[in-house]
């Protein structure tokens, strides 16, 4: 996934995905020759990251009710005000719009697209992988082939082409990103299902005469859902970066609606005079993606697919 992170991988399960390199920060410490293992819950960084994510989510949800300026309210006389100027905590942009307000409303777009796209990918891909991994045979072969076709496209290229033609609405972008991430979840779900279906309790359920649907929903799904959800969490960061890249290219939600990526892009024009226009949204986006990666990584090492596949 990262793609660069902006050269983003749409496929966090691909071995190339930044977060699937088998190392987590915690594991890095565990690999310490001294054998010091951090087993006592999550460290302070984890809670800091969770706190930041909670804060961003809170601001995104309540943006309309918070005492913020109108994100599209221009004031050309007060443009490029530095952070800390009166009335504008984080300064104003090239059109005199309040950066803090734009960040808050931009968080909406980022998070909404991220959550919705991940949910779509997780539900559709998860179901597909589950059924394919359980039924095997021609359905599995056909599904795998289709997934390979989708994966054969360079992700962002396909995304750009699709978004440009389908349109730049919130819904279209969400659907396209969600659709493109289906193979990822399908692969995780399929791999886990393959392992889980070999377990004795599945055999027992079948021996008791349970139907396929009951086995899939009752025996396999509960074991597959956690690894898939863990990947979904990591993928949130990927989608935030993707949306940012689209916005940076001017292909996300239409202007003047604020998004983090478009704010960074706008700031670029004023780079020779002032940096905060690009810097502030960049920091916010960086911290958010970093936090998502960190939390996702920590949780995933708990519910590791590789472990559960044993």
Partner 1 sequence: MSRVLAGKAVSLLTVLLAVSFLSFLMLNLLPACLECQILGPDNLDAEAVAEVRAELRLDDPIPVRYVAWLGDALSGDLGQSYYTKQDVTDAVVERLPVTVELLVLSMVMSLAVSIPLGMVTAYRAGGILDRVVTGATFGMLAIPSFMMALLLIYLLAVEWGWFPATGWTRLTADPGENLRSAFMPALSLALVNVAVFTRLLRTDMMATLQEDHVLLARSKGLPTWRILVRHALRPSSFSLLTVAALTVGNLLGGTVIIEQLFALPGIGRLLFESIYKRDLMMVQGVVLVMTTGFVVINLLVDVLYAVLDPRLRTRRLAHG
Q: How far is the CB of 156 from partner 1 (least distance, A)?
A: 3
Q: Which of 68, 112, 99 is nearest to 283 (CA)?
A: 99
Q: How far is the CB of 307 from partner 1 (least distance, A)?
A: 15
Residue 277 CA to residue 264 CA, distance in Å, equals 7
Report the sign of the C-alpha dihedral through residues 254, 257, 258, 264, in that order: positive
Q: How far is the CB of 97 from partner 1 (least distance, A)?
A: 20
Residue 155 CA to residue 255 CA, distance in Å, equals 24
Indicate left, alpha or beta for 41 from its phi (over 0: left) and psi (-120 to 50: alpha).
left
Helices (H) and strands (E) in the chain, counts: 12, 0
How far is C-alpha 155 from the chain's CA centre? 14
For partner 1, the closer CB: 197 or 282? 282
For partner 1, the closer CB: 128 or 238? 238
Q: How far is the CB of 48 from partner 1 (least distance, A)?
A: 14
Residue ranges in contact with partner 1 by CB under 8 A: 1-9, 14-19, 21-23, 25, 28-29, 31-34, 145, 148-149, 152-162, 164-166, 237, 241, 244-245, 248-249, 251, 261, 264-265, 267-268, 271-272, 275, 278, 282, 285-286, 289-290, 293-294
Q: At what angle do helices 99-135 and 260-268 cross, to 10 degrees?
A: 130
For partner 1, the closer CB: 68 or 159? 159
Q: Kindly tell me the burial class for residue 34, based on how many C-beta atoms sit within 10 Å of its own C-beta (0-12, 13-18, 19 or more).
A: exposed
Q: How far is the CB of 52 from partner 1 (least distance, A)?
A: 12
For partner 1, the closer CB: 152 or 207? 152
Q: How far is the CB of 157 from partner 1 (least distance, A)?
A: 5
Q: How far is the CB of 121 from partner 1 (least distance, A)?
A: 18
Q: How far is the CB of 29 from partner 1 (least distance, A)?
A: 8
For partner 1, the closer CB: 221 or 265? 265
For partner 1, the closer CB: 50 or 78? 50
For partner 1, the closer CB: 2 or 305? 2
7: β partners: 2, 3
User: Are the C-beta atoms of residues 51 and 42 closer than 8 Å to each other?
Assistant: no
Please enumerate in sequence order all residues whose Cβ is within 8 A of that of 190, keeping only pairs 6 or more positions apart, or say none: 128, 129, 130, 132, 133, 140, 143, 144
Indicate left, alpha or beta for 43 from its phi (over 0: left) and psi (-120 to 50: alpha).
beta
For partner 1, the closer CB: 174 or 288? 288
């Amino acid at each position: 996934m990262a793609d660069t992170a902006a050269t983003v991988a749409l496929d966090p399960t691909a071995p190339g995905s930044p977060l699937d390199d088998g190392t987590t920060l915690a594991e890095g410490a565990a690999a310490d020759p001294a054998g010091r293992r951090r087993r006592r819950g999550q460290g302070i960084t984890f809670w800091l990251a969770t706190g930041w994510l909670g804060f961003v989510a809170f601001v995104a949800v309540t943006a309309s009710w918070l005492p913020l300026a109108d994100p599209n309210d221009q004031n050309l006389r007060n443009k490029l005000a530095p952070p800390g100027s009166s009335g504008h905590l984080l300064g104003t942009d090239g059109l005199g719009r309040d950066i803090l307000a734009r960040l808050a409303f931009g968080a909406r777009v980022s998070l909404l697209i991220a959550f919705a796209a991940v949910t779509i990918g997780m539900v559709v891909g998860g179901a597909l992988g589950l059924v394919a991994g359980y039924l095997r045979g021609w359905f599995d072969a056909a599904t795998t082939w289709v997934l390979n076709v989708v994966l054969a496209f360079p992700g962002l290229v396909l995304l750009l082409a699709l978004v440009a033609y389908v349109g730049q609405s919130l819904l279209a972008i969400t659907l396209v990103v969600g659709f493109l991430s289906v193979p990822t979840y399908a692969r995780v779900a399929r791999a886990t299902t393959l392992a889980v279906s070999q377990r004795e309790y599945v055999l027992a359920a079948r021996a008791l005469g349970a139907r396929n649907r009951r086995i899939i929903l009752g025996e396999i799904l509960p074991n597959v859902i956690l690894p898939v959800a863990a990947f979904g969490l990591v993928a949130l960061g990927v989608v935030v970066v993707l949306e940012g890249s689209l916005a940076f290219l001017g292909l996300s939600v239409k202007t003047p609606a604020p998004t983090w990526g478009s704010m960074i892009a706008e700031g670029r024009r004023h780079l020779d005079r002032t940096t905060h226009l690009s810097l502030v949204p960049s920091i916010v986006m960086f911290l958010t993606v970093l936090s998502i990666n960190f939390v996702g990584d920590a949780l995933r090492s708990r519910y590791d697919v590789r472990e559960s596949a044993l």
